Amino acid sequence: MKICFLAVGGELLKGRIVNTNLTQAGLMLREHGYNFTREVVIPDDREAILKALREELQENDVIIMSGGLGPTKDDITKKTIAEYFQTGFREDTETMERLRAFFEYRKIPFTDKNAAQALVPENCEVMINKKGTAPGMCFSVNGKLLFSMPGVPFEMLYLLEYEVLPRMKAAFPPLFYQNHILRVWGMPESFIADRIEKIEKSLPESLDISYLPRLDGVWLECTLKGNIAEKKPIAASLEHAVSLIKEVLTGYVYTEGQLSLPEEILALFTQNQLTLAVAESMTGGNIMGKLVQISGTSAYLKGGFTVYFTEMKTRLLGIPADLIEEKGVVSEEVATLMASKVRELTGADVGLSITGFAQKPDKTTSAQAWIGYSDKSGDCAKHETFISDREVNISRAVSGALIFLLRNVQELIEDTTV
C-alpha cells in the first residue's frame, strides 16, 4: 500500500520552519499500522501543486496533503485542487455556522475573506475541523483517497486522528504491526550488523531491523508485521528474535524502548528516593542542562558545579592541585575525586562527574573524557573517546555520562534490594 504525505509550504523549503508535521503524522500512522512510503514538499505555487496532484494520484493509494488552506492570498491549495478536478465550489453549511459562531464569540468582524473558508470544491466530503477555521477535505478518486488539511500542526493532527484515519481504515484495513527497540552504546553500527548477520538464519525472514545511529547510541528497531488474526504468534516470534539479538549484543544494550535517558533517570531516582549532584568540566553544564529539560527533575537533581578552568576544580571542589599536576586534569583519579567531592559538598546520594577534551587538544591526543561516579558503596570511573567535532563530542559525552549513571544506579538499587 502506497501512502504519500504532500506538504505545501515554501517556508519548509526555505529552512524557516522544521517539518515536524511529517514526523508527527508518521508516528501516528505507525501506531495504526500504516507507513508513509513517500513525502513530497512543494511551494505554494499553482504549477507545483497541479504537477504533484497529477503524479502522486497516479502512484499512490492515499495522499495526505497539508498546508496552504489559510485565508491569505498566498494560500492557494483549495483553489488549485478544484482546478485540478475541474469542479466549482459550494458553501458548506456546517463550516459556515461554525465560522460565524467563532467570530461572534471572539467579537471580530466577519469579512468575505473569512466567509470564503466555508467554500469547498463540489466533489469533496468536508471533514469538520474542530481546532481551527479551515475545513479538512476528502476526495475519492477511482478507489484512491486524497485528503487536504491545514498545515498548523495541532489542526493537522486532530484531523488526521479523528477524520482521516477512520476513512483510511474503512477503505484499506491495516496490517497488525509489532516492534521492539534495543538501544546500544559503545559498538559501531557495522559491528552490530556483523554480529546479527551471524545469527540471521535463526531470525524470522520477515523481521525488519532498522539501525538508527543517534547521539545516545544506535537504536535497533525490530519490527514484525502481519494479519491481525496472527497477533499472538507474531508477538511471540518477535520476543524470541529480540532475545537472540540481545544475546549477541550482551553488555552493549543499555536499555530498551523509547524512554529518553532523562526520563529513565528521573524514574529511577524518584522511585528509589535518591538525589543526584553533578560536577562538569568538558560538558560545561550540558549534563545537568539535559536532565532539567523534563518536568519532575527538581525532585532529585540537587545541583552541582561547572569547573571549567582547572583552577576552579581546586577552588570550588577542593581537588588537590598536586593530584591534577601529577595525574593530569583528564584522568581517572581526578574524575573519581570530582564525583565523590560533589556528592560530599551537596549531600547528594549519588555524584556524577566528567573531565575531558571536547576536541583534540593537540595532534597526538584524542578528544576524550573520564566519567566519574560515586555513591555510598564506592567510586568508579570510565573512559570514552570521541571522533567527531566539538559539538557532537559534547553531546556524546553527555550520553556516555548518563548511560554510566544509569548502569551504576541500577546496580546500587539491586545491591540494596538484595
Judged by beta carbon, residue 123 or residue 259, the one nearer its own copies is 259
195, 302, 327, 383: which one binds its own copies (CB under 8 A): 302
Residues 344-403 within binding reach of its own copies (CB under 8 A): 345-347, 358-359, 366, 385, 387-392, 394
Asked if 101 interacts with its own copies (CB under 8 A), we say: no
Distance CA 407, CA 76 (A): 54
CB of 55 to its own copies, least distance (A): 8
Among residues 247, 262, 65, the alpha carbon closest in space to that of 145 is found at: 65
Asked if 321 interacts with its own copies (CB under 8 A), we say: no
87, 114, 123, 314: which one binds its own copies (CB under 8 A): 114
User: How does DSSP classify residue 185?
Assistant: -
Q: Where does residue 190 rank: exposed (0-12), middle (13-18), buried (19+ CB within 10 A)?
A: exposed
Residues 236-275 within binding reach of its own copies (CB under 8 A): none
Distance CA 25, CA 12 (A): 16
193, 228, 244, 321: which one binds its own copies (CB under 8 A): 193
CB of 160 to its own copies, least distance (A): 12
Residue 91 to residues 16, 116, 163, Cα–Cα distance (Å): 34, 8, 20
Asked if 42 interacts with its own copies (CB under 8 A), we say: yes
Residue 3 to residues 9, 11, 125, 149, 388, Cα–Cα distance (Å): 19, 23, 20, 15, 37
Asked if 35 interacts with its own copies (CB under 8 A), we say: yes
Residues 131-160 within binding reach of its own copies (CB under 8 A): 131, 152, 154
CB of 96 to its own copies, least distance (A): 16
Asked if 175 interacts with its own copies (CB under 8 A), we say: no
Q: Is the dihedral of CA 76, 82, 84, 86 positive or negative?
A: negative
Distance CA 302, CA 319 (A): 21
Distance CA 393, CA 367 (A): 8
Judged by beta carbon, residue 50 or residue 123, the one nearer its own copies is 50
Judged by beta carbon, residue 316 or residue 380, the one nearer its own copies is 316
Say what the alpha-carbon torsion angle 80, 84, 88, 93 is, to the nearest 10 degrees: -60
CB of 368 to its own copies, least distance (A): 12
250, 271, 295, 417: which one binds its own copies (CB under 8 A): 295
Binding marks (x or -) toward its own copies, 203..222, rule CB under 8 A? ------xxxxxx----x-x-
Among residues 70, 18, 61, the alpha carbon closest in space to that of 36 is found at: 61
Asked if 201 interacts with its own copies (CB under 8 A), we say: no
